[in-house]
Amino acid sequence: MKVLGEKIERFLDIVGNVCEVVCSILALFMVFLVTLQVILRFFNMPLFGIEELLTFPTIWVYFLGGACAAYTNSHIECGIVKAVSKNKHAVQITEIVCNIVASALAIYVFDWAIQYSIHSLEIGKKSAVLGIPMPIGELAILTGLTLMCVYTLVGTVKNIVKFKEKWEEGGNRS
């Protein structure tokens, strides 16, 4: 089912795959930093700044991971209606309502992320030990929430179109 144009869907797939690769690379980098810190502490040679440096990939993994979950539609959900109801129509309507609520929330939080990112860039603060510009970490919020918003909206549109197609095919009798 091609709800969006083929090129747009392909682009969103590429962005989603890149997001997954970036999360994997950052997670490996985080493991490396923690391992390095443990080894250095074992030899009584702690290196200042590793904890601070670790916060940046952690923030990126957190928000890009949320975007990956929105891309693959694998975020945490309760699914009570699916477990209790045998009516496929009710389950589909519930999914659409959940998608609409998630989309509205994503748009609201996205607006907040834009304001926060602008504020972060205007202030120009730096990390305490290493002097890394804080917007490097804080822009992960805007990036991740932008992708989450896009993928949630795309998922909502796809579910509505799928429901409409089934309804028109006579699937409204279940």
Residue 55 pLDDT exceeds 90: yes
DSSP class per residue in 21-40 = HHHHHHHHHHHHHHHHHHHH
- Return the exposure string of 88-104: e unless at least 16 CB atoms fall within 10 Å of the residue's CB, then b: eeebbebbbebbeebbe
pLDDT in tens, 75-109: 777 778 888 888 888 888 998 999 999 999 999 99
Distance between CA atoms of 155 and 69, rounded to whole angstroms? 12
Average model confidence (pLDDT) across the chain: 90
Residue 174 pLDDT exceeds 70: no
Q: How many CA atoms lie within 13 A of 166 on its CB side?
A: 16
Q: Tell me phi and psi for residue 126, to 5 degrees.
A: -125, 155
Look at the block and give the residue holding tokens 């926060």: 116
The pTM of this model reads 0.85
pLDDT at 2: 63
Task: Check: CB of residue 143 under 8 Å from CB of residue 116.
Answer: no
pLDDT at 172: 54
Q: Would the CA dihedral through 164, 14, 18, 110 be positive or negative?
A: negative
Compute and round to an integer the Cα radius of gyration of the chain.
21
pLDDT at 171: 57
pLDDT in tens, 1-30: 466 688 999 999 999 999 999 999 999 999
Residue 145 pLDDT exceeds 60: yes
